[in-house]
Every structure is written in C-alpha cells, then in structure tokens.
Amino acid sequence: MSMTVDPAELHALADRLVGQAERIDALDPLPPDLSAAVELSGSASAAATGQAAAVAAAVYRESADRYRALADTARRNAVGYVGTDDVFAAALRRVGAGRP
C-alpha cells in the first residue's frame, strides 16, 4: 500500500482549522436577544441565562482549543513528512554514489 502526503495541503488544513478556531472565538455566548433576560436581575431566567452563557463560553473555548491542537498536529506532521523524505532522499543518494 502506498500513501502520498502533500505537506502544503497539511499546512493549508492547519490554516483552515485556525480560521475555524478564530470564528468560534468570535461567537457570543450571550447574544443581545438573551442579554435582556440577564438584566432582570434576581429572576430565575437571569440565573439560568447566566449559567447557560458560562457553559456555552466554556464549550466554545474548548472547541477552539481543539481546532488549534489539530492545526498544530497537521503542521508538525507536514514538517515530519518533509524531514522523513529529506533523510530518505539523502540515503538514496548515498546508495547511488556507492556509499553506506
């Protein structure tokens, strides 16, 4: 079985993943239509809305962090594949030149 890896595509994937993380970072866990409920301080809806916003913010943060981690992995793999190819190519050149 053979596998072809395009390091440029891995870098492009990493860029797209970071872009997605940035879009997630920009999400508002308490959009304006819900913020009115929070303004009713002391009400049950204010407490529930505030708690829901905190949970949503944590989920957004975790999701964005996971996208960034995937991007880092894609970039490390791209660098690793290039390094592996370079080492293998150098070994082939040595063999072709009659050196170990």
What is the chain's mean pLDDT, rounded?
A: 87
Distance CA 4, CA 76 (A): 17
pLDDT of residue 26: 95
Q: Is the pLDDT of residue 53 over 90?
A: no
pLDDT category at 5 given cuts 50, 70, 90 is confident
Is the pTM higher than 0.85? The answer reads no
Extents of the domains making up the chain: 7-96
- Burial code (b: 16+ CB inside 10 Å, e: under 16) for 6-25 equals ebeebbebbeebbebbeebe
What is the phi-psi region of residue 2: left when phi exceeds 0, alpha when psi lies from -120 to 50, beta otherwise? beta
pLDDT tens-digit map of 63-85: 999 999 999 999 999 999 999 88
